[in-house]
Amino acid sequence: MIYQHLFDRIKTPETVKAALIGAGRFGTSIVTQAPLVPRLDLVAVADLDIEAARSAFLQSGRSHEEIAACENRSEALRALQAGKVVIVEDALLLMDLPLHVIATATRVPEAAAFYADEVIRHGKHLVMIDKEADATVGSVLKSRADAAGVVYTTDDGDQPGLLMGLVSWAKMLGMEVLSGGDLRSALYDPEAGTVSRGGRTIQVSDEDRWALERIPAGEAARYAEARQRALSAFREDDALGDPMCHMAVAANGTGLMPERPVGHRPTLRLVEIPSVLCPQSEGGILENKGVLDVAYVLHTEDQPHGGGGVYIVVANADPVSCATMVEKGLHANPDGTAMLVYRPYHLCGAETAMSILCAGLLHTPTGAAEMRPHVDIVATTGRDFGAGETISRLGCLGYDQDLPASLAPARPLGPENPTPYFMLEGRRLLTDVPAGTVITGAMVEEPRDSELWTLRREQDALFL
């Protein structure tokens, strides 16, 4: 593995000293994997819930005696010198500790933006697990880190970072990326005639079941459209959850762009993906090349599905190479002009160790070499809102049903322009906002002291 060869060239530091902000499920998986990873020493965790930080270390095999809860820098330094690991409530205490890399996994956009900026200001490398902040101000944070001579990287272990790596790999080999994005699961029970996705199950009518059969050559568009109709009840979920946030981060890191506000989101067998998510000129449904989308993989219980992975559909200019690629395992469309490359999994915190090590040892991101604000997530009201209402907490794993999300070309903050989705959290509405309205700058009260808003204005000035 090339990483091992590259790491072996680096003699100093012998181990990467790392810390984590946010001991939720993802963060805890980083902590528990860290003791198994050569040259990684995760020595500190910050969380407002100090017992969550303690629990993460206990689950990693540390004893209570090896964990020191610290309230200031002096206590933390003494604990580290004594060979203990440190837990703190105040993440700012981490900034002045002898660390190489800090990873943020708060799931709170404002907090993530603030801590990310502080990490960069203190000359440490940053692994950004917080997709909400990454989607909103990742480009300016990457620019700041580059100027400071430190690493800013979207993490391996989650789908956007892994897609960035897959796209980069294909382009380095001279392939053209026609489409790419997340893979999600759609479980099909042929006997019951049901499809299950995201915890919901839909009964497919007898007259629509033909559309779930294997797509014949030349019928990609007709079958994809028929499946969309048959499974239309799922469409209300498309503006919710991780895939929207993932699409925004991936677009800004790869340059792949969605064709629709939430994407086409076809339901396809793995082998059908290159026939459908390719340009219309090649028999698919896409109007353009370089499209970002989510594919829901139709599978039975005993079939692999790749849900949780990432895919790209590629073209290759050389017909001899194309034929070899198909012969050696790439699924292709009937003409052999579009081929599927996919990774069927992401391993959360277990893989994030690679991003930490690459930053700490190689001073290299595992994510995009450059980031640009191509798209924003925007909010459309799902009900009537009244002036004075405060928008509740928004989270990547479950957007507010009252504020369905969509993607739009990134535009600078302004009275008439949409306010990016995660900048709305905790904001008071200045006017009545009828259902079906995209929330713009004129409709919300701008906070007086917000790192997220400050960074966004800097990003707008720099790129937009």
pLDDT tens digit string along 77-88? 999 999 999 999
Q: How far apart are CA 210 and CA 464, in angstroms?
A: 47
Q: How far apart are CA 449 and CA 249, in angstroms?
A: 25
The residues with which 67 forms a beta bridge, in sequence order, are 85
* Locus of tokens 């790439």: 330
pLDDT at 432 over 50: yes
Rounded average pLDDT over 410-426: 96
| Distances 414 to 94, 193, 463, 464 between C-alpha atoms, Å | 35, 49, 15, 12
Beta strands in 269-336 (DSSP E): 291-292, 295-299, 310-315
- CB of 375 closer than 8 Å to CB of 406: no
Task: Determine the CATH number of domain 373-464.
Answer: 3.90.1210.10
Rounded average pLDDT over 220-248: 90
* Locus of tokens 């100027």: 147
Task: Tell me if residue 215 falls in helix, strand or coil.
Answer: coil
pLDDT in the model for residue 305: 87
Q: Find the angle CA(408)-CA(461)-CA(428) to the nearest 5 degrees.
A: 60
- CB of 309 closer than 8 Å to CB of 344: yes
pLDDT in the model for residue 235: 86
Q: How far apart are CA 274 and CA 268, in angstroms?
A: 10
Q: How far apart are CA 122 and CA 242, in angstroms?
A: 31
pLDDT at 396 over 70: no
The token duo for 306 is 């790749």
pLDDT at 391 over 80: yes
* Locus of tokens 């959360």: 348
**Bigger pLDDT: 239 or 158?**
158
Considering the chain, what percentage of its residues have pLDDT values greater than 70?
A: 98
| Distances 436 to 340, 379, 380 between C-alpha atoms, Å | 37, 9, 6
pLDDT per residue as tens digits for the range 166-220: 999 999 999 999 999 999 999 999 999 999 998 899 999 999 999 999 999 999 9
Other C-beta atoms closer than 10 Å to the C-beta of 83 total 8
pLDDT at 397 over 50: no
pLDDT in the model for residue 395: 58
Task: Determine the CATH number of domain 2-157+349-362.
Answer: 3.40.50.720
pLDDT at 400 over 90: no
Mean pLDDT of the chain: 95
Residues in the chain: 464
- CB of 44 closer than 8 Å to CB of 19: yes
| Closest to 26 measured CA to CA, from 146, 163, 131, 145 | 131
Helix spans in 131-287 (H): 131-148, 159-172, 220-230, 242-254, 273-276
Query: What contacts 24+ positions apart, CB below 8 Å, involve 140-147?
Result: 140/455, 140/456, 140/458, 140/459, 140/462, 140/463, 141/113, 141/116, 141/117, 141/455, 142/368, 142/370, 142/371, 143/459, 143/462, 144/117, 144/120, 145/120
pLDDT at 286 over 60: yes
Helix spans in 342-410 (H): 349-357
Q: How far apart are CA 145 and CA 210, in angstroms?
A: 53
Q: What is the pTM of this model?
A: 0.96
Q: Would you place residue 398 in the very low, low, confident or very high pLDDT band (cuts 50, 70, 90)?
A: low
Q: What is the dihedral of CA 272, 278, 282, 288, to 10 degrees?
A: 160
pLDDT per residue as tens digits for the range 24-76: 999 999 999 999 999 999 999 999 999 999 999 999 999 999 999 999 999 99
Query: Can you give the residue ranges of every domain in the chain?
Result: 2-157+349-362, 162-343, 373-464
Rounded average pLDDT over 124-146: 98
Residue 422's region, left for phi above 0, alpha for psi from -120 to 50, else beta, is: alpha
- CB of 43 closer than 8 Å to CB of 99: yes
